[in-house]
Amino acid sequence: MSDHFRLTLAQLNPTVGDIAGNAAKARAAWAKAKAAGADMLALPEMFLSGYQTQDLVWRPAFQADLRNALNALAQDCAQGPSLGIGVPLLENGALYNCWAVLAGGQIATVIRKFHLPNTSVFDEKRLFASDSISGPYRMGPIRIGTPICEDAWFEDVAEAQAESGAELLLVPNGSPYARGRYDTRMGHMVARVVETGLPLVYLNLVGGQDDQVFDGASFVLNPGGQLALQLPSHAEAIATVDFTLGAEGWRAQTGPRALLPDSHEQDYHTMVLGLGDYLRKSGFSRVVLGLSGGVDSALVATLAADAIGPENVHCVMLPSEYTAPHSVEDATDLAARLGCRLDEISIEGPRAAFESALAPLFTGLAPDVTEENLQSRIRGTLLMALSNKTGALLLTTGNKSEVAVGYATIYGDMNGGYNPIKDLYKTRVFEICHWRNATHRSWMAGPAGAVIPPRIIEKPPSAELREGQRDDDSLPPYPVLDAILEALVEKDCSVSDLVAQGHARDVVERVEHLIAISEWKRYQSAPGPRLTDRALWLDRRYPLVNRWRDRS
């Protein structure tokens, strides 16, 4: 029996529902594996269907198309390395999250997922059936155990496969990015290696799907937890790793070990990749956004320029009588630095027309936030008109702090199809702007240098909907607000917890109240890339009507 096994790993970016396109990617990767003399090609979890499918996977016609595509893939890849690929399959009336091994023109082995995640963004217990733990399968000289994603986060599956004779653990994954997630994954996988004494391959998807961005960062571990191979994050990659059999068992030969970036770069790359894939996979090639001269829209414009190129980013300044001259100057400066088109449309004419039309019904009523929101809604209408006319996707620009407390106008500045900074607190927005001005990477399509004018980052934030308005007139200062929000949203802390930490009770209770009464706005907000474990969508689901308030 041979003492050598060559495995090609394909960390690739599928598209949900594009079965033919995903199969074509698999064939192209298989051809590279064949050219490399590999014994097997491995693709990640749910690759053929794309991930996550949500209820699309229940459609009988979708299931049939997947089965036909899998059979065709087996036939096309019969003469060469075996191929392992993630795919949902209907078997004996039950739907499973599977990993199919294709060899000799047939579906040789089917592994069915045992542990179905049902927390955070995952709802697999609703979608799939769980099967018993699958044993190892032979691949040439080696016996492979395949815990599928969540299966490897528990010791039982890997332990059972090792006890049944597995000599290598190959873990296909669909694990989306969240800040700090890489260390969590690595900790679990090292534990499996230590427990079983086997080498382990962790193979992850890459690419954006709705609010989730899969960050790749696949790796190979030898017994003892030694890193043998590290693929880059946020990028497609194909690598071949050799395993050799020695006196102590199978070991992976050391290969390339990409350096993973810090959390600011990972966040930024996630937003760029998420936006770019949302556009590409939805059929858009251009975007339009309102550029206010403030830091949020400046960052969104920069992200868009880095995702699809500045020539495809249309910025629009929509000034009113309350727009400060420096805001127009700063927006102009930003667009020039990025190389984006900038147009200006005054909202004073439409505003006068709206106020004239409403005047008979507003007689005797004092001006209030209604008039402020009207300005925002006029801007939203004009931007949506430009989006409809030009076919460019409208980007909205509210940060997580604003989204959390509802400091945004529904049907106004919340208009848009995608929000790249939806999961980025305001204080983090400032940090990311400083980082981008000091950093440029090859994957950024925008220019290098300080593209965001320093004055935009340094000036006090303002919605500029009334004379002399500042955000901290209506909200606590952002460092205070964000500290409270992180405790309430990310950690489920109580009001009394925050008071004990030194926050004023009235401020904490007001923020907690604003979060609760803004839920209906969030239900109607645009999707955006998930950066944390508590993004304000699937991670945190609260009722629209909710009279409970924390008064602990």
CATH number at residue 184: 3.60.110.10
In a domain, 37, yes or no: yes
Looking at residue 300, its pLDDT comes to: 98
If asked whether residues 229 and 189 sit together in one domain, one would say: yes
Task: Look up residue 309 and give its two tokens.
Answer: 């190129």
Rounded to an integer, the average pLDDT of 136-143 is 96
In a domain, 68, yes or no: yes
If asked whether residues 189 and 47 sit together in one domain, one would say: yes
Distance from C-alpha of 258 to C-alpha of 233, rounded to nearest angstrom: 8
The alpha-carbon radius of gyration of the chain (Å, integer) is: 26
Distance from C-alpha of 218 to C-alpha of 143, rounded to nearest angstrom: 21
If asked whether residues 356 and 424 sit together in one domain, one would say: yes
The dihedrals phi and psi of 473, each to the nearest 5 degrees, come to -70, -30
Distance from C-alpha of 200 to C-alpha of 180, rounded to nearest angstrom: 21
* DSSP-assigned letter for residue 467: T
Looking at residue 541, its pLDDT comes to: 83
In a domain, 71, yes or no: yes
Which of 447, 471, 495 represents a domain boundary (last residue)? 471
Active-site positions? 45, 113, 149
Distance from C-alpha of 456 to C-alpha of 449, rounded to nearest angstrom: 15
The dihedrals phi and psi of 520, each to the nearest 5 degrees, come to -65, -30
Looking at residue 1, its pLDDT comes to: 60
Q: β-pairing, 226-230 with 219-222?
A: antiparallel
If asked whether residues 244 and 284 sit together in one domain, one would say: no
In a domain, 506, yes or no: no
Distance from C-alpha of 3 to C-alpha of 514, rounded to nearest angstrom: 64
As a 3-state breakdown, the chain gives helix, strand, coil percent values, each rounded to 5, of 40, 20, 40
In a domain, 15, yes or no: yes
Task: Look up residue 187 and give its two tokens.
Answer: 């900790």
Which of 239, 259, 279 represents a domain boundary (last residue)? 259
If asked whether residues 274 and 254 sit together in one domain, one would say: no
In a domain, 490, yes or no: no
Residue 334 belongs to domain with CATH number? 3.40.50.620
If asked whether residues 63 and 94 sit together in one domain, one would say: yes
Q: By the 8 A CB rule, do 44 and 174 touch?
A: yes
Looking at residue 63, its pLDDT comes to: 97
pLDDT at 391 exceeding the cut of 80: yes
pLDDT at 539 exceeding the cut of 90: no
Looking at residue 544, its pLDDT comes to: 86
pTM, entire model: 0.96
Q: By the 8 A CB rule, do 507 and 476 touch?
A: yes
Looking at residue 463, its pLDDT comes to: 79
If asked whether residues 282 and 178 sit together in one domain, one would say: no
> Which residues lie across from 531 on neighbouring strands?
none
pLDDT at 492 exceeding the cut of 90: yes
pLDDT at 176 exceeding the cut of 90: yes
If asked whether residues 309 and 272 sit together in one domain, one would say: yes
If asked whether residues 255 and 276 sit together in one domain, one would say: no
Work out the mean pLDDT of the chain and round it to a whole number: 95
Alpha helices, DSSP H, located in 339-399: 348-362, 369-390
pLDDT at 457 exceeding the cut of 80: yes
Q: Work out whether the CA dihedral 350, 352, 357, 359 comes out positive or negative.
A: positive
- Using DSSP's 3-state secondary structure scheme, residue 513 falls into helix
Distance from C-alpha of 195 to C-alpha of 172, rounded to nearest angstrom: 19
The whole domain housing 210 covers: 4-259
Rounded to an integer, the average pLDDT of 516-521 is 93
CA nearest neighbour of 292 among 417, 438, 447, 412: 412
> Which residues lie across from 257 on neighbouring strands?
230
Looking at residue 334, its pLDDT comes to: 98
Count of domains observed in the chain: 2
Lowest mean pLDDT among 351-355, 370-374, 467-471: 467-471
If asked whether residues 210 and 63 sit together in one domain, one would say: yes
CB atoms within 10 A of CB 491: 10
In a domain, 511, yes or no: no
Which of 415, 449, 471 represents a domain boundary (last residue)? 471
If asked whether residues 100 and 219 sit together in one domain, one would say: yes
CA nearest neighbour of 178 among 150, 149, 217: 217
If asked whether residues 249 and 269 sit together in one domain, one would say: no
Omega cis (within 30) before 75: no
In a domain, 487, yes or no: no
